[in-house]
Amino acid sequence: MTSQTHQTPDAPRTPVPAPASRSAAPPTEEQIRRAPKVLLHDHLDGGLRPATVVELAREQGYSELPTEDPDALRAWFLAAADSGSLERYLETFAHTTAVMRSAEALRRVAAECVEDLAEDGVVYAEVRYAPEQHLAAGLTLTEVVEAVNAGFREGERRAAASGRRIRVGALLTAMRHAARSLEIAELANAHRESGVVGFDIAGAEAGFPPTRHLDAFEFLKRENNHFTIHAGEAFGLPSIWQALQWCGADRLGHGVRIIDDIEVAEDGSVRLGRLAAYVRDKRVPLELCPTSNLQTGAARSYAEHPIGLLRRLRFRATVNTDNRLMSDTSLSREFTHLVQAFGYTLDDLQWFTVNAMKSAFIPFDERLAMINDVIKPGYAALRSAWLFHNERELPS
Ligand SMILES: O=c1[nH]cnc2c1ncn2[C@@H]1O[C@H](CO)[C@@H](O)[C@H]1O
Ligand SMILES: [Zn+2]
């Protein structure tokens, strides 16, 4: 199988659009937190509160944690995940999946996840996890899904009780090195009326191409269901090409290596290869996760992260957390880093957020309602509050 990823030799060069004019001041951290945000790529087993990991380990007799002090544990996850390799980054999940093996633990972790996202100003999220990694204490796949769903609903209720509206859908992940993807795809399909909005594959990318799981993807397509594929993170264009053209992914988890198919000349003009042009033309959503990419070595710094160019070229780019525990991050923090690196304004934040909402796996009319009734009014309110605040500060 060879990939059609090379630059078209005679593809036209086009100038890179300059960054939009920055008439508005960059948003403050508080504005970023209050801005309504949408999160498409967040792992449930990568987002536990450190204190919860410690408590669950005690309750369940898990003695392998590197430390029982929550602050030290937070620092440990960040340092251990900051390895420059996806494989070593993934080793840290052994500790979180180890404590997520009872229905109560899964329900608690899921509910806290929703509370934490709501507190961060997330109004819609798709949170993923691999049910096959939570069976060690005897739960069935269905029991795992039911426990997590119950936790998500509980989290939504608790958030609403404290005045924060959030909606969360689950994505069921199959591990790409394992052989249960068809079963997990069937599980996702069976639960689509009860909170599971799609499917994903994750895990080490090199050596485990998405085409190993074609039967799962073909099943989901026949069922008119949705899926995203982790691709183009640790491995480059062939992985993205397979995910799209062989497997039919609706979105790309990361997809950041699409940058390898974009050539920027010294005069600033750009040329898209055929694959990059396809991704942009077809509006394929990219679930970009800046901090995670720095940790696994997929990007060197925020300022050099491909998201800057992809945003200017108007790819369907979205901003995501990947693993809030391993990256010690939140969606607001990801946006704060991007504001610092690229001078983004509230308009840019709204653009990323609308991109994400358009790319969600819930029905079109519900996405539209979120955009028109929640996201746009939320940003408009922030802008007018900002104007009002600044006018009051003008000298009289
Ligand atoms: O960035 C990533 N790339 C690939 N796999 C990942 C990433 N983050 C987490 N997981 C994997 O997905 C599983 C289910 O949530 C996690 O246990 C972890 O192994
Ligand atoms: Zn991921």
Q: What pLDDT is recorded for position 249?
A: 98
Q: How large is the average pLDDT for residues 251-263?
A: 98
**143 a catalytic residue:** no
pLDDT reading at 170 higher than 60: yes
List Cβ neighbours of 13 (8 Å cut-off, separation of 6 or more): 265, 269, 270, 271
Q: Give the percent of the chain with pLDDT over 70.
A: 93
Q: How large is the average pLDDT for residues 21-44?
A: 90
What are 2-23's pLDDT values in tens digits? Answer: 444 555 555 667 777 666 545 5
Q: What pLDDT is recorded for position 161?
A: 98
Query: And the tokens for 143?
Result: 């029991």
Q: Which of 350, 337, 304 is nearest to 35 (CA)?
A: 350
Determine whether the annotation assigns residue 203 to a binding site: yes
User: pTM for the whole thing?
Assistant: 0.94
Q: What pLDDT is recorded for position 78?
A: 95
Determine whether the annotation assigns residue 43 to a binding site: yes
Pocket test for ligand 1, best of 41, 44, 45 (most atoms within 8 A of CB): 45
What are 98-133's pLDDT values in tens digits? Answer: 999 999 999 999 999 999 999 999 999 999 999 999
Place of tokens 């992985």: 239
How many angstroms is it from 357 CA to the middle of ligand 2?
A: 18
User: According to DSSP H, which parts of the chain are helical?
Assistant: 29-34, 50-60, 70-81, 86-91, 93-98, 103-119, 141-161, 181-190, 214-222, 237-241, 274-281, 290-296, 307-312, 331-342, 346-359, 364-369, 376-392
Q: What pLDDT is recorded for position 2?
A: 47
If you average pLDDT over every residue of the chain, what do you get?
94
Pocket test for ligand 1, best of 41, 87, 93 (most atoms within 8 A of CB): 93
Place of tokens 């795809």: 185
Pocket test for ligand 1, best of 132, 230, 257, 322 (most atoms within 8 A of CB): 230
How many angstroms is it from 33 CA to the middle of ligand 2?
A: 22
Q: How large is the average pLDDT for residues 183-197?
A: 97
**Ligand 1: nearest atom to the Cα of 289:** 1
Residue 34's alpha-carbon distances to 155, 220, 249, 367, 385, in angstroms, are 19, 36, 32, 20, 12
Choice among 234-238, 263-267, 268-272, 392-396 with the minimum mean pLDDT: 392-396
The structural domains of the chain, with segments of one domain joined by +, span 30-374
Q: What pLDDT is recorded for position 396?
A: 44
Q: How large is the average pLDDT for residues 357-374?
A: 98
Q: How large is the average pLDDT for residues 343-352?
A: 98
Q: Hey, whose CA ends up nearest to atom 11 of ligand 1? A: 203
Q: How confident is the model at residue 134 (pLDDT cuts 50, 70, 90)?
A: very high
Q: What pLDDT is recorded for position 214?
A: 98
Question: Choosing from 126, 146, 205, 233, which is the catalytic residue?
Answer: 233
Whether 122 and 37 have beta carbons less than 8 Å apart is answered as yes
What are 196-232's pLDDT values in tens digits? Answer: 999 999 998 888 999 999 999 999 999 999 999 999 9
Q: What pLDDT is recorded for position 394?
A: 52
At the top level of CATH, the class of 30-374 is: alpha beta
ipTM score assigned to the predicted complex = 0.99
Determine whether the annotation assigns residue 267 to a binding site: no
DSSP character string of 163-192? T---EEEEEEEEETTSS-HHHHHHHHHHTT
Residues near ion ligand 2 (CB < 5 Å) are 322
How many angstroms is it from 240 CA to the middle of ligand 1?
A: 17
Please give the Cα distance from 143 to 140 (Å, whole number): 5
pLDDT reading at 303 higher than 70: yes
Q: How large is the average pLDDT for residues 59-87?
A: 95
Residue 147's alpha-carbon distances to 46, 96, 163, 219, in angstroms, are 17, 16, 24, 25
